[in-house]
Every structure is written in C-alpha cells, then in structure tokens.
Amino acid sequence: MAGQKYIDGKEVATHNSRASCWIIVHGNVYDVTEFLDEHPGGSKIILKYAGKDATQEYDPIHPPDAITTNLPKEKHLGPVAPDTVQKVEITVTDEEKARLQRVSQRPSLDEILNLHDFEAIAKQVMPEKAWAYYSSAADDEITNRENHAAYHRIWFRPQILIDVTKVDWSTSILGHRTSMPVYITATALGKLGHPEGELNLTRAGAKHNVIQMIPTLASCSFDEIVDAAQPGQVQFLQLYVNKDRNITKRIVQHAEKRGIKGLFITVDAPQLGRREKDMRMKFTAEDPSEVSRSGSDGVDRSQGAARAISSFIDPGLKWADLDWFKSITKMPLILKGVQRWEDALKAYDLGLAGVVLSNHGGRQLDFARSGIEVLVEVVAKLKEKRGLTFPNEKFQLFVDGGVRRATDVLKAVALGATAVGIGRPFLYAFSSYGQEGVEKALQILNDEFEMNMRLLGATSIKDINADMVDASNLSAHVAAIPGDRLYDANYESMQHARLREVKTKM
C-alpha cells in the first residue's frame, strides 16, 4: 500500500507458522523461520507472535540490537507499513498471575540474611524458564554442586589474641583496588531475571567498589553497561572468541577504548554445554502438538541452539592465537576456564596476567574438578616448576564457582587466589530485588568478611595464608558405596523421650 519499501501487515500475517514465520519488532519485519529452534527462550513464544507485532514481548528481555545482531541481514525484510499491523493482546496466564502474587509477597530485604536466601526467593519469583536457564548445569550437575561442596572440605585454623579492632579486607585485582577480594563474574542474559539486566550489577558494583566483568552474552549492550558505570569504576570484559577474528578484534579494541581494564578470554567453552534442565524446560514450554510434529518430521531440535552458538564461539581457538591477542590490545590478558596446572604454567610462560581456575559454573564439562581444588594443584606446581608464590602480583590466580559465604572466599585467598568471582548469587539477588538486592548481597559479604577476619585473627588480606586452613581432604572425591537397603529398612531408629499424651476430655 505504501509503496515498494513497506511491507503490508496483511502479508506479514500470512507468515504465521513454523513453515514460514515473520515477526514485527519496532516497526521492522524479520523472517525468523530458521531462527525458531535456536531461540534461547524456545520457539513457542515466537510462534505465538508469528505474523504479528512482537515488540511488547520483545522489549523487556532483549537488548535493542539483539535481533539485528543475531539475524543475518537477508532476514531483515524491511519496515512494515504503519496502520496495517494487527494489535496484539497479551493475556496473563494463571501461572503468571500466581508468580506475580509471589513477587508481591517477597520478604523485606532486612530478612535476607545470606546469599542462599536470594536463591530461595528467586526460585519462587522468577519465571520458570529464566530460573531453568540460570540454575541449570551440565549433565548430572555433579560439578555444579561439587563446586560448593569442595569448600566444605577446607577447614580453618584461626589464630587468637591478635588485635582485630580494625580489620581490612580490601585488596587489589590486576592493580585496581576493590573493597573485597571478590568480583562480579560474567553471566549471560541478565534481563531474563530483571528488566534492568546487567545494569543492576554495574550500579551496585559502583556503590560497593566491586569490579564487574561484562559478559559477551549480556542482555544489555556492551555500551549501555559501560555507560552506566561511575567515573573511575573498574570493569573487565569476558570474551567469547568469534570464528571471524575481525569481529573479535572490533570488540576487543572497542572495549579497550571504552576503558576496560582486563580481558578474560573464555577457554572452557569451545562449544556451549548441554544443560538438561534447561532443555527439559523448553519441551515443557512447547505445545504437545508442536512437539510431536517436530518429532515426526525428524528435525533434531535439541541440537539447534548449540549449533547456532558454535557459529560465534570458535572451537578452533588455540594457544598460538594468544600472540595475536597481544598484538591487538594492551589490556591484561587472563584465561578464564583453566582446569589443570599444565595450562596455568603455559599461560604463565606466555606472559599472561593470570588465569581463572573455573569450570564455567559446572555448565560445561561434568566431572571437571572445582576451581578451588585446581587452585591447590596450580599453586604447588608453579612453585615447584617456576618458584612462584601466591598471591602473586605478576601472575594472578582467580577462582569461581560455588561461592556462597565470605568464608569460601577467604579459603580461596588463603590458598593463593587473588580474588574470587561470584556469579549466580548476584543474578538471584537482582532477580528477586533488582539493584537493591545486589547491594544487599554485597553488604552481607562485607558483614561476613568483617566478622570472619576478626575470628580468624587477621587484620588484612595479607594475613590470610595457607597456614590458616586445613585443605588436606580437598581432593577426596568420595562417592560412598551404595547402601544396604534391606538392612537399613529393618533397622528401627532410636526414639527420644516423648511428651505424654493428654486424654482429650469427652
């Protein structure tokens, strides 16, 4: 109607199926047919808007440029003719109503006593799919939980009668001061949990002087996140390396220009992990009719997302590429996802600034060891092979995964880590309470640090050394032999003394 350049809404409306699916976002038409199965949120939600205007649903979750970035140019079909588009009415499901009711019942922030509490609330107030995406991990989620369990195999040897009137747990990371030996590590898709997404982290980090690592897969755009920082606020960048090195070069040099202080190259994800809870959720979210059709047409949708993503994460990244990185940036280079001492040694020998001993929060290789366990191995071997001691200014060790308490952080520091990355707990904090949640989380950590520095008899982070912990059981991967069910079922438990029963009067 409005000439060649505009697409008529009625034509868009005919592309309303899995066979051909067009949607309208911000007045532009996109052919998402081939993208359906690659959509992290599942295809169902897109199909609901097939042939229609999806802007209202799109906005709260995606960065503005998500669709233009992720969809090849040829799928950008052009602007839709105004006034030809059908209005979309959003109906709120009973499930969603119940969730919103729960949101209104959140306890006051005063009642949140520890980082676990945020997770308990988030589990109840987040949309199910968002929860599944944040909380899921690889295969049987053994490594995911081991990350936390490993800290329980480390015990303290506190010292007494030290004047701890003043205790100071601030420290430096890559030469930048931080109020605590903790940084906010990179995690994807922040808007799934809260409309402000990663900006919650930026702003809370500013208030508490804690460094944020910006993820490649943020829901907010990189520049939005950098723009939200306070003057002087330190930010790092987590990088997935693209097959097209020009894209990577552009990202890295842009980051350096914007003042990013460290480049953390992810090396534990040549392919994104299979996370079955997340996959299971997608099937649940689909129409049964939809699923059976798909099942019968032989399309293997479960592999879709992984294949799609591997197009922008290069599985070919290798040691030889690190020279190229050095040639394009002056930012300190840190490898994120080192899991054995041999690789930490290589990184050191190549002159990198450090390594993050991490298994990607248990989301990649199941039965990878916890970062804290690898830390002990790395510290021992780099001392043996190169005479290094830790913490070390020149080559810094970081750990992430499973941290819930300041005591966990202090254990890592005692064993040689410069600082510890915390991810999910902050996601749960803003998913429950937005920016204030993250601030509260940081405040809780501060309170715990103050308390525990005093109780350890340490006045500064320098005092926290290997002598303060007993980590001799850290590498014990105990899986008890299976129980004797017949014997156990026969055993009648001991009983306590009990209150007398009162005869009810007739």
SS3 assignment, position 258: coil
**What is the distance between the terminal CA atoms of the chain, rounded to a whole angstrom?**
86
Between 62 and 369, CB nearer to a copy of itself: 369
* In the complex, least distance from residue 480 CB atom to a copy of itself, rounded to whole angstroms: 5
Residue count (the chain) = 506
Count the site residues for a copy of itself by CB under 8 A.
130
Report whether 469 contacts 157 (CB < 8 A): yes
Per-residue x/- mask for a copy of itself, residues 6 to 35, rule CB under 8 A?
------------------------------
Between 15 and 301, CB nearer to a copy of itself: 301
Instruction: Please compute Rg for the chain using Cα positions.
Output: 26
Between 319 and 460, CB nearer to a copy of itself: 319
Give Cα 448 to chain centroid, integer Å: 23
* In the complex, least distance from residue 256 CB atom to a copy of itself, rounded to whole angstroms: 22
* In the complex, least distance from residue 28 CB atom to a copy of itself, rounded to whole angstroms: 32
Considering only the stretches 76-84, 216-224, 392-400, 442-450, report the one whose residues sit in contact with a copy of itself under the rule CB under 8 A. 442-450
Considering only the stretches 20-28, 184-192, 202-210, 330-338, report the one whose residues sit in contact with a copy of itself under the rule CB under 8 A. 330-338
Residue 156 found at the interface with a copy of itself (CB under 8 A) = yes
Applying the rule CB under 8 A, the residues between 387 and 426 that interact with a copy of itself are 404-405, 407, 411
Residue 454 found at the interface with a copy of itself (CB under 8 A) = yes
Residue 498 found at the interface with a copy of itself (CB under 8 A) = yes
Q: Buried (b) or exposed (e) across 260-295, using 16+ Cβ within 10 A?
A: bbbbbbbbbbbebbbbbebbebbeebbeeeeeeebe
> Phi and psi dihedrals of 80, rounded to 5?
-90, 150
Closest CA to 260 of 361, 198, 176, 189: 176
Residue 128 found at the interface with a copy of itself (CB under 8 A) = no
Q: Angle, to 10 degrees, between the axis of helix 115-125 and the axis of helix 94-104?
A: 150
Applying the rule CB under 8 A, the residues between 366 and 385 that interact with a copy of itself are 366-369
Between 218 and 471, CB nearer to a copy of itself: 471
Applying the rule CB under 8 A, the residues between 55 and 114 that interact with a copy of itself are 101-102, 104-114
Considering only the stretches 25-33, 60-68, 245-253, 331-339, report the one whose residues sit in contact with a copy of itself under the rule CB under 8 A. 331-339
* In the complex, least distance from residue 230 CB atom to a copy of itself, rounded to whole angstroms: 21
* In the complex, least distance from residue 437 CB atom to a copy of itself, rounded to whole angstroms: 12
Among 486, 504, 505, 506, binds a copy of itself (CB under 8 A): 486
> Phi and psi dihedrals of 183, rounded to 5?
-130, 160
- Cα torsion angle, 396, 399, 404, 407, sign: negative
Q: Residue 317: count other Cβ atoms within 10 Å of its Cβ.
A: 20
* In the complex, least distance from residue 257 CB atom to a copy of itself, rounded to whole angstroms: 26
Q: Residue 344: count other Cβ atoms within 10 Å of its Cβ.
A: 27
d(CA 493, CA 495): 6
d(CA 143, CA 149): 9
Q: Is 54 exposed, middle or buried, given 0-12, 13-18 or 19+ CB atoms closer than 10 A?
A: buried
List Cβ neighbours of 164 (8 Å cut-off, separation of 6 or more).
453, 454, 457, 458, 459
Residue 506 found at the interface with a copy of itself (CB under 8 A) = no
Among 19, 90, 480, 506, binds a copy of itself (CB under 8 A): 480
Between 159 and 460, CB nearer to a copy of itself: 159
Residue 337 found at the interface with a copy of itself (CB under 8 A) = yes
Among 8, 11, 168, 321, binds a copy of itself (CB under 8 A): 321
Considering only the stretches 4-12, 79-87, 218-226, 467-475, report the one whose residues sit in contact with a copy of itself under the rule CB under 8 A. 467-475
Residue 494 found at the interface with a copy of itself (CB under 8 A) = yes
Applying the rule CB under 8 A, the residues between 247 and 306 that interact with a copy of itself are 267-271, 273-274, 276-277, 279-280, 283, 288, 291-292, 294-295, 300-303, 306
Residue 465 found at the interface with a copy of itself (CB under 8 A) = no
Considering only the stretches 18-26, 92-100, 147-155, 218-226, report the one whose residues sit in contact with a copy of itself under the rule CB under 8 A. 147-155
d(CA 412, CA 326): 29
Q: Which residue numbers are catalytic?
A: 240, 268, 360
> Phi and psi dihedrals of 123, rounded to 5?
-55, -30
Among 502, 504, 505, 506, binds a copy of itself (CB under 8 A): 502
Between 12 and 46, CB nearer to a copy of itself: 46
CA distances from 174 to 246, 284, 338, 398 (A): 27, 45, 18, 11
SS3 assignment, position 422: strand
Between 144 and 212, CB nearer to a copy of itself: 144
Applying the rule CB under 8 A, the residues between 193 and 232 that interact with a copy of itself are none
Report whether 133 contacts 363 (CB < 8 A): no
